[in-house]
Chains A and B, each alone.
Chain A
């Protein structure tokens, strides 16, 4: 039994893992930040009807607030990433939490449409970027190795968050009204964020710990001081000179257009084919739930096998899979589509941090990731426009499906042109020349604990 367990540990590299590490606390915090930060964004659809009823605004003018928020979030993402690198993710996220509170409170008191645009479109849009962009690079800095595993666990919250929160918000809107619901979510969300950010540390060194996956022979990485700032600028200038930097923005943009068309258009398309509103909404929920598996698996596989291959098959599958909708006419057809398409869709966006690590090593990835989210955000905004526009013109969704496929397959083509991920494109991020005695002792204690944890028990 013991030998079998040891063999399994060795075969799958499990002996390198331990649950007793602060990196998992950081991953859990990142998951909650993403859930709280993205909740109101995802639940915007629930807000439209109460606002139409209360103020008589048109759904189109209310929808513009959502489009404005998406674009503002996208445009502020590179700056949010830079701020996370420069001042630390924690400080940046605390600022984002402050803006989240202001945005939520102001939105709850909105009387004029321009107030909705400012409070929800601009203030809330900026807060989204400050909360959601720096958290991913911060998690990355906690993983010297096995970033795929950390990213995969964190990315699961992208699916679970909306699935849980949207239902809760719908109930809240129905029971206390939209205005009170915003006040409650604003207060509870801000309180939750402030409490969990107390436990957040930007880097392992700041917490006096070592990064997950650090080997005895590894020197600690430079994470603070003047040289950290200056080296970061220098390394980032090299990052800008690589094809991969620009192409990854392009790929994220194309992939997001591809799936935004489906995510926005699937419910009206289902209803136009005779599905009831609840059944059609169930298709979207099925996509969210099934995609959890590949959101987790894609970064893990990207790290273990080839990141390019995993991303290629995800994009290609996302593109080809939408053609199932061309012949979908029954509830069963739509649910088969939801299950089949969710698999590549889930893997489409979650491997980017692993890709960045492979190309640019341990260089702080805030700015690079922020630029990629600029592409992603603009892609989501554009993809969201396509179904409605195509329906207005043609009275159907066929062209929207074709465009979705074209954008995703173009993304797959762009992935083929990426550099080989086996070769790092810029030099290694500098390490400290001499190990800190304290850090070395901590590392030794952690490694011994991990070893005893893995070898104990039959």
Chain B
């Protein structure tokens, strides 16, 4: 079924690469990508911690106790611990 392309070179090196070099590092592009990753994590942690503290608060209210006496899920405690604003 496969038709091989005729006259395809197999051993020669590409002449267009001779002497070509990219000296600069992609700081801008990589930096922007990392900024987005960090920004996204910040958003996730903030909203996740907000949701977690709401859930703990609701359970405490339902049980008629204080939030400190309620055991949160591991991920709820983790998010509240990591977020400096909650």
Residues in A lying within 8 Å of B, measured CB to CB: 198, 203, 205-208, 220, 222-228, 231, 234-235, 238, 240-247, 249-250, 253-254, 257, 375, 382, 386, 389-390, 392-393, 399, 403, 410, 414, 417, 426-430, 432-436, 438-439
Contact = CB atoms under 8 A, between A and B. Distances in A.
23 contacts: A198-B1, A206-B2, A224-B4, A224-B5, A226-B11, A227-B11, A231-B17, A234-B14, A241-B24, A242-B22, A245-B26, A247-B28, A250-B33, A386-B47, A389-B47, A390-B47, A403-B43, A414-B36, A426-B20, A430-B16, A432-B9, A439-B5, A439-B7
B34 to A, nearest CB: 9
Contacts, number: 119
B44 to A, nearest CB: 7
Contacts of A250: 29, 32-33, 36
B69 interface: no
B8 A224 contact: yes
Interface residues of B, number: 38
Q: What secondary structure prevails in chain A residues at the interface with B?
A: helix
Given A250-B29, A390-B47, A403-B43, A225 B9 contact: yes
B70 interface: no
A191 B44 CA distance: 42
B7 A436 contact: yes
* Closest A-B pairs by Cβ, 9 of them: A205-B5, A243-B29, A246-B29, A247-B29, A225-B10, A430-B14, A250-B33, A436-B7, A241-B22
Given A231-B14, A250-B32, A238 B22 contact: yes
B40 A436 contact: no
Contact of B5 (A206, A231, A246, A393): A206
A242 B26 CA distance: 5
